Amino acid sequence: MSAQVLATVSDLIVSHPYLTALLALLTYIIVQHTRSYLSLSHIPGPPLAHHTTLPLIRACLSGHTASYLSTITAQYGPLARIGPDHLLTSDPATIQRMSGARSPYRKSYWYGAMKFKPRSENLLSERDEARHEALRRKMAGAYSGREVGVEGVVDERVEEMVSLIEKKYAISKETSGPSAERNYLNVALITQYFTVDVISHLAYGVPWGDVASETDKYGYIEASETNMPTITAMALLPRLLAFFEKSYILDWLSPATQESVGLGMIVNATGPIIRARLAMGKEHQEKDMLGAFIRSGLGREELESESTLQVLAGSDTTATTIRVGLLYICSNASVLRKLRAEFDSAEISSPITDAEARKLPYLQAVIKESIRIVPPVTGMFSKEVPPEGDIICGKKVPGGTLISQCSLAIQRHEVFGTDPESFIPERWIGISPEQHHEMSQTVDLVFGYGKYQCLGRPVALLELNKVFVELLRRFDFTVRDPQNPWDANNAGLWSHRNFLVSVSQRQDVQ
């Protein structure tokens, strides 16, 4: 009987090779899927996530990534399943361990979608550990401020924004009142104009001029908001992304094909600037980031790839924290009063220096709480479990599994004490150095950790150290609609629209 079966199968293979191939492929898929399902079946998660990443992709495309992931951790705990081979964690210690200097964890395929030019890696997308570390070393000097006059640039850009608000939007003490005509300031836009001008000034020696023109001059903001949902969704489809890249379809779909606006403008317009600067030689470079990168040995391809990442990573995130901070400060009279009392009584410059700001404990508490309450970066930043597997949150996880992070849930961790859903700067005051350190380390996970920590962190903190003081020492802000202050979407980064406030000259100046 068995011989007859074998003969029948043999005849089937010979006479129907395509059908046989299809059946073999289906069998392979079923076996792989079953193996994947069983290997992680002990880890809870939404039932559909055991079989597909479609709900996760839908959350990315709809702009609800952060809330979707946060809901999963709230329901299933600090380690949950969000795909057939994909887990999500909200445990700070796990994130720190995965990103440590000697960690065997590596970047997953998720990072492959973070290229802004096909087949051209940048600091974020580079998955090879040796090349990633070499690139970090070359770029570190520019971001640290050692080779670039960072603080002076930020001072210029802050003064320009303050001047614009004062001349165009602030109602004077004499004209303020119920009958005064309101010219509402869109904080969602002005903060991004400011941060784009800061990073472009630092990068190329001159700002793009978004604040001066009060426009998204090159369409970057619109392009970022439009493209990020697709980019984060494609990060979950590695085979499709690889096919698009190898077949050169991605060259047509890439932002670089849109040469006059948005991400494509950055990719293409910086090319001539980079080539001209390279022709000058290392010894004749300007005191900006581009000059520092060239002096450190970055080549043309590396410079062009990093240019888009600089603007994306250096503007959207800081602008989010400024918006969040202003909303929570101006919605809480007690916080505003304490903050103003601190810098009114301190001997500080105008504009305040970074060193002076670091010595103001309540200001630092407000900044940390602004970063914590709405983490400006909510990307999944998936890492791959090493081949030997690991124990995560007490559960065995096989090698090759993806581990993503839930930034919102991490910033609601028990380390922050009671009521982590509320904006309470006082949680940072009067606590032990050990607790303050642990809380600070957890907030800093927003900037990455260890070998993956964001190089732009010092620049972002310097901006935050200055902006809140310079705005609140001069102006009173009243949110037009406190119940619905803005329209928000999230696809790894936050997009805020229509954050309207009325502005008047400060009434309680001492």
Task: List the binding residues for heme.
Answer: 454
Whole-angstrom Cα distance, residue 30 to residue 12? 21
Q: Which residue blocks in 64-149 are alpha helix, DSSP H? A: 65-76, 92-99, 129-144
324's tokens: 């969040």
Hey, is 441 helix, strand or coil?
helix
Whether residue 55 has a cis bond before it, omega within 30° of 0: no
Whole-angstrom Cα distance, residue 446 to residue 452? 11
Whole-angstrom Cα distance, residue 68 to residue 82? 10
Location of structure tokens 């202003």: 326
Q: Which residues pair with 88 in a beta bridge?
A: 80, 404
Beta strands in 56-201, from DSSP E residues, in sequence order: 79-83, 86-89, 106-107, 170-171, 185-186
Residues at the binding site are 454
Q: Which residues contact 322 (CB under 8 A, 6 or more apart)?
A: 187, 191, 194, 195, 463, 464, 467, 468
Beta strand 500-505 pairing with 170-171: parallel
Whole-angstrom Cα distance, residue 60 to residue 66? 9
Hey, is 118 helix, strand or coil?
coil
